[in-house]
Amino acid sequence: MNLLITGADGFIGSHLTEALIRQGHNVRAFVLYNSFNSWGWLDHCGKDVKGKFEVFSGDIRDPHGVKEAMKGCDAVLHLAALIAIPYSYHSPDTYVDTNVKGTLNMLQAAREFGVQRVIHTSTSEVYGTARFVPITEEHPLQGQSPYSATKIAADQLAYSFYASFGLPVVIARPFNTYGPRQSARAVIPTIITQIASGQRQIKLGAVSPTRDFSYVQDMVAGFIAALNSDQGLGEVVNFGSNFEISIGDTARLIAETMNTEIDIITDEARLRPENSEVERLWADNTKASQLFGWQPTYGGHEGFKRGLTETAEWFNNPANLASYKADRYNI
C-alpha cells in the first residue's frame, strides 16, 4: 500500500515507519517542519530502510499541507500529537491546535481523497484513574489533564467521521508504550537515563500510581494488525499488555536489570496536580485479540523485564545516551 504516517519522526512513529517499509509498503513520512531539516528519529533509522521512504515536512496544524501529504495514499496512520502531560498544563492551547484541529485536518483530507483505512491513535490517558480493572473499551472517559481532554476530543472527531461520512476509521488506544528512542519526558527513559549517567538517587514524581506498559515492538505489531484487517471500523481498540505494575516497582525492576541499587527521591516539580494524576491503568486487550489476532509478546512480568533489558541496552550506548539531558526534568 501507499501509506502516510503522521508523527513518523517520533518514538512510535519511527519504529512503525521502519517496520512497514520492511514489509514492502511505500511510506510517506510526515515530519514536523523545522529549520534544522531534522527528521527526528528517522535520522537514526536502520541502514536497511534509509533512503527507502519519502519525507514530507509540514505541520499537522496546517490543513493545506496535510491535504498535500495525503495525495495518492491508500491509508493513513495518524500518530502526530503533543503528548507530554506536564507541558499541557501551561500550554493547553497548543494541544487543542495540534491534537484536535490537527486530527480534524487529517480526517478532512482522508475523506476528500477516499482513503481506504484510517488508524487514529488514542491514549489510555483518556480513561483517567481506573474505575474498574482491567479497563475495557466501555470504561468512562475522564479528561484529567488538558492533554487527555484533547485526545478525547480527537477520538470523538474520528468516530464522528465514521458515523457521519462512513470514513473507515479504527481508533487504536495504546497504553503506556516504552522502548528505544522514547523521550525522557516519559518515566522509563527518565529512570534509565539517570542510572546510565551514574546517578543513584533517582528523582521521580509519584511512585504509587500503576501503569500497563507495552514494549514498542508490540505496539507496532498492533498498529500493523489493525491496518491489515478488515475488522474494527468505527471501533475503539485497547492495545496493552494486561499487566499492571507501580512506578516504584518499575524503577526497582529497571535497577535490577541494570545491576545497580538506587534510592528514589521525590521531586516536587514532577508531581501532577492531585486531581490530575491518573492513579491506575490496566488494560483489557481482549478486543484486540478478537478483532485483529493481536497478542503482546512482551507481556507479563518476564516480558516486561525482557523489554526493559533491551531498552536499557539501547540507552547505555553512549551515542544514544548523548541525545538525552539526564540532569534535567523534561516536561
Please give the C-alpha separations between residue 132 and each of 127, 128, 142, 202, 282, in angstroms, as whole numbers: 10, 11, 13, 31, 9
SS (HEC) of 136-191: CCCCCCCCCCHHHHHHHHHHHHHHHHHHHHCCCEEEEEECCEECCCCCCCCHHHHH
* pTM of the predicted model over 0.85: yes
Mean pLDDT of 284-308: 98
Domains and CATH numbers, the chain: 2-177+214-239 (3.40.50.720), 179-211+243-280+298-321 (3.90.25.10)
The answer to whether residue 331 scores a pLDDT higher than 90 is: no
- Give the mean pLDDT of 185-200: 96
pLDDT-derived band at 330, boundaries 50, 70, 90: confident
CB 308 within 8 A of CB 254: yes
The SS3 call for residue 322 is coil
pLDDT, tens digit (0-9, with 9 covering 90-100), for 57-110: 999 999 999 999 999 999 999 999 999 999 999 999 999 999 999 999 999 999
pLDDT 10s digits, 211-233: 999 999 999 999 999 999 999 99
| Mean pLDDT estimate for the chain | 97
Q: Burial code of 85-117, b = ≥16 C-beta within 10 A, e = fewer?
A: bbbbbeebeebbbbbbbbbbbbbbbbbebebeb
